[in-house]
Amino acid sequence: PKYHNFLKSEFNIRAIDQNEEEEGLGGCSNCLVLFFTILTILFFPLTMWSAIKIIAEYERAVIFRVGRISGNKAVGPGLFFIIPCTDSFIKVDMRTISFDIPPQEILTKDSVTIRVDAVVYYKIGNAIDSVKNVENASSSTKLLAQTTLRNILGTRSLSEVLSDREAISSEMLTILDEATDPWGITVERVEVKDVILPQSLQRAMAAEAEAVRDAKAKIIAAEGEMNASKSLKEAADVISSAPAALQLRYLQTLTQISAEKNSTIIFPIPIEMMKGMGNSGSRM
């Protein structure tokens, strides 16, 4: 009796929530449901194995009664009851699911063939819509993601594909989320993984980048030479305006050279000193 009362209350609650659905079943279907309900209650110890179902925390069950969806929402998680012979159910995983879009050969706007792959994260938000409105929600989402990636990249040039990955991912997310909304699916994230270029194009881009680097290096070297020449000219002007500064420079050079060991130093005598010695000899 205890099990019979509990099962009766469960079926009564289910019947209250499903008045509109039960009205659409027809008289024959209602009689069939009533008949198997009575049998389930009478033979509950024997029918409990087929009437009682359990699903996990991350799952929901969509119940079909005589081929029609029972109730306005999926049941679960935990324990729930079905009527044997008239009820069936489909389990729906409500966790976030990810899948890879295989590399696609795509022709860009500037007629360059590239291979691009991506990853998509989605979850089922409405279990009933995912079962009722599409045959296979997971497979349909994967196919739609592949075609969406092709359509988006076909409207962009190669430089835009390489530099605007975030914009491409955001546009894909918006289009996929809107298209899969009738299926009860929410697209959470889309990421473009790799953009693979043809080998010939890779070599051409590498050569171009190397040429740009060489040009920049030559410009920097030329600027350095120009700055050094200006500095030398300014130093020469200063030394030429003060002859004693040249002698001081000689002495500084000798000091630096003498710091090295085992060195022979040949120091030229300045012309000014020779002139001074010649003048003093003539006087004598």
Domain 97-197 has CATH 3.30.479.30: yes
Whether the CB-CB separation of 196 and 103 falls below 8 Å is answered with: yes
39 Cβ contact list (under 8 Å, min separation 6): 47
Q: Are strands 185-196 and 113-124 parallel, antiparallel or unpaired?
A: antiparallel
- Domain extents in the chain: 2-93, 97-197, 204-283
Low-confidence ranges of the chain (pLDDT < 70): 1-27, 29, 32-33, 35-36, 40, 201-202, 204-206, 239, 242-251, 253-254, 256-284
Taking the C-alpha atoms of residue 121 and residue 177, their distance in angstroms, rounded to an integer, is: 11
Helices 44-51 & 2-17, crossing angle to 10 degrees? Answer: 50
Q: What's the pLDDT at 12?
A: 47
47 Cβ contact list (under 8 Å, min separation 6): 39, 40, 84
Whether the CB-CB separation of 130 and 185 falls below 8 Å is answered with: yes
* Environment class of 71 (CB within 10 Å of its CB; exposed 0-12, middle 13-18, buried 19+): middle
Give per-residue burial for 185-211: e unless 16+ CB within 10 Å, then b. bbbeebbbeebebeeeeeeeeeeeeee
Q: What's the pLDDT at 143?
A: 93
How many CB atoms neighbour CB 26 within 10 A?
11
Q: What's the pLDDT at 20?
A: 45
pTM score above 0.75? no
Q: What's the pLDDT at 8?
A: 43
Kind and range of the H or E element at 133?
Answer: none
Q: What's the pLDDT at 106?
A: 86
Q: What's the pLDDT at 26?
A: 58
Taking the C-alpha atoms of residue 135 and residue 139, their distance in angstroms, rounded to an integer, is: 9
Q: What's the pLDDT at 209?
A: 72
Q: What's the pLDDT at 262?
A: 60
Whether the CB-CB separation of 192 and 114 falls below 8 Å is answered with: no
